[in-house]
Amino acid sequence: MVNLTLLLCLVLGLCFSCRAEIKPDSNNNALDLDIVHYQPEQVHLAFGESVLDIVVTWNTRDNTNESICEYSEYSDGSKLDQVVKSAQGPVRFVDGGAKKAAQFIHRVTLPQLKPDTKYSYHCGSNWGWSAIYWFHTPLNHSNWSPSFAIYGDMGVENAASLPALQRETQLGKYDAILHVGDFAYDMCHEDGAVGDEFMRQVETIAAYVPYMVCPGNHEEKYNFSHYINRFSMPGGNENLFYSFNLGPVHIISFSTEVYYFTQFGLKQIVMQYEWLERDLMEATKPENRAKQPWIITFGHRPMYCSNDNGDDCANHETIVRKGLPGLNFFGLEPLFYEYGVDVELWAHEHCYERMWPLYNYTIYNGSLAEPYVNPRAPVHIITGAAGNKEGREPFFKRMPPWSAFHSQDFGYLRLKAHNASHLYFEQVSDDKKGAVIDHFWVIKHSHGTYSGV
């Protein structure tokens, strides 16, 4: 039977969140109602070309033909008097699975916002609007102390860290989130429905604080199409590699996956390597390193790990570290060492592991008593334990000497960049109800290349 209420709404133009396409059945008798959706969902933020340009991204099931974000400086949430419309409107994204499920992705940039200011916003169109969210812009100089939550490998199932991250984000604890690859497990599954559910789950984090990402191996399907289309990172490189400055830190995101999924072409390895070198050259100019002395990278697959599971990071000649097998071209360890990268963040292994300052399997502690004070090599940290259906990773029975601390607990990493000389890290355990199971300072009185140190 036809839903008369819905038909009446359509005739009177009163139904703004849905419409009906009425199709006769094969006998031209009963009618089907195919409801199509215009309600915004999966709202998330990212930094744009500057940290005062905030990009709002969301999805709708059907084409609204417009993408609008209304926002204002935060008051009681009732005044949203500034309006930005996307010039291109929504972009149709089609999943590569059998159903070719389609949705529309909307991107709007809120440009040149005031620093250190709280804004409220909602997004959508005249067909439907999101709830009202808020965010706080950062300061646009280096003399302040940003805070980060950092983790990788979080799925829809067993997302152990999600409740704590939701709570802490709502309390304004973080200035940015770094998700170090592997989302949903997997975003392409069930014709993209798993990816949709994941993005809805993290909306309570990502709609309030910039959610900065890098690709992992679980994003590989259809040439990383879900990752490329769902996120909106700066730089115009399909979200695969980019950098941004926040406080005293220059942060570089890159793809380790270009080294492993070479069926998509070797060109991407060359392009990324050349971009990384250009970015590091710019970041290490004296005038730039004076403003952002800390250089931190994040990529999914580690150069080093102590996991007994056959992953590449447990091999001596790790591809990310040494480069293409047999050629040793485009290895990243010498590049990061030459330009004095301070900290390298990784995931992929479902665990937490902190290394001593390390280069080419050699420990370069600042001193025996204070290993992280003026270290003479980068500090590697794996934080891939945010929780997923694959469970935990085993460690070798005999741990290598360069591994300083390791844990199988589900959890996530916090970073506070206090100033030009002090970084503070702590690993939070979800298994232990939010207890900090590891914490340490990295202290540097000067920054630069390690060569010749």
For residue 373, the model assigns a pLDDT of: 98
How far apart, in whole angstroms, are the C-alpha atoms of residue 343 and residue 251? 10
For residue 325, the model assigns a pLDDT of: 84
**Other CB atoms within 10 A of residue 117 CB:** 13
Is 94 found in the same domain as 158? no
Domain boundary among 110, 140, 170: 140
> Does 27 fall in a domain?
no
Is 91 found in the same domain as 189? no
> Does 449 fall in a domain?
no
Q: What is the pLDDT along the chain (453 residues), one digit of tens a residue?
A: 445 444 434 333 433 333 334 343 344 444 444 445 899 999 999 999 999 999 999 999 999 999 999 999 997 656 898 999 998 899 999 999 999 999 999 999 999 999 999 999 999 999 999 999 999 999 999 999 999 999 999 999 999 999 999 999 999 999 999 999 999 999 999 999 999 999 999 999 999 999 999 999 999 999 999 999 999 999 988 999 999 999 999 999 999 999 999 999 899 999 999 999 999 999 999 999 999 999 999 999 999 999 999 999 998 889 999 998 888 899 999 999 999 999 999 999 999 999 999 999 999 999 999 999 999 999 999 999 999 999 999 999 999 999 999 999 999 999 999 999 999 999 999 999 999 999 999 999 999 999 866
> Which residue from 401, 416, 414, 413 is spatially nearest to 365, judged by alpha carbons?
401
> Does 387 fall in a domain?
yes
> Does 369 fall in a domain?
yes
> Does 28 fall in a domain?
no
Is 246 found in the same domain as 172? yes
Which positions ≥6 away from 271 have C-beta within 8 Å?
A: none
> Does 5 fall in a domain?
no
Half-sphere exposure of 396 (CA within 13 A, CB side): 16
- Is 264 in a helix, a strand, or coil? helix
> Does 453 fall in a domain?
no
> Does 105 fall in a domain?
yes
Please give the tally of structural domains in the chain.
2
**Other CB atoms within 10 A of residue 436 CB:** 12
CATH of the domain at 415: 3.60.21.10
How far apart, in whole angstroms, are the C-alpha atoms of residue 275 and residue 265? 17
Is 126 found in the same domain as 42? yes
Is 57 found in the same domain as 203? no
The residue range of the domain holding 100 is 37-140
Is 296 found in the same domain as 384? yes
Burial class from Cβ neighbours inside 10 Å (0-12, 13-18, 19+) for residue 430 reads: buried
pTM above 0.75, yes or no: yes
Helix (H), strand (E) at residue 403: strand 403-407
Domain boundary among 140, 160, 184: 140
- Is 111 in a helix, a strand, or coil? coil
Is 132 found in the same domain as 146? no
**Other CB atoms within 10 A of residue 290 CB:** 12
How far apart, in whole angstroms, are the C-alpha atoms of residue 342 and residue 295? 5
With b for 16 or more beta-carbon neighbours within 10 A and e for fewer, the 11-38 pattern comes to: eeeebeebbbeeeeeeeeeeeeeeeebb
pLDDT, one tens digit per residue, over 245-256 is 999 999 999 999
Helix (H), strand (E) at residue 165: helix 162-170
Is 375 found in the same domain as 279? yes
- Is 292 in a helix, a strand, or coil? coil
> Which residue from 239, 154, 246 is spatially nearest to 202, judged by alpha carbons?
154
> Which residue from 180, 349, 322, 353 is spatially nearest to 251, judged by alpha carbons?
180
Domain boundary among 140, 172, 191: 140
CATH of the domain at 69: 2.60.40.380
- For 148, 317, 328, the CA distances from 320, given in Å and listed in that order, are 25, 9, 10
> Which residue from 245, 263, 268, 221 is spatially nearest to 254, judged by alpha carbons?
268
Q: Which two tokens stand for residue 240?
A: 């695969």
Is 236 found in the same domain as 134? no
Is 118 found in the same domain as 53? yes
For residue 87, the model assigns a pLDDT of: 86
For residue 79, the model assigns a pLDDT of: 82
Is 151 found in the same domain as 124? no
Is 229 found in the same domain as 91? no
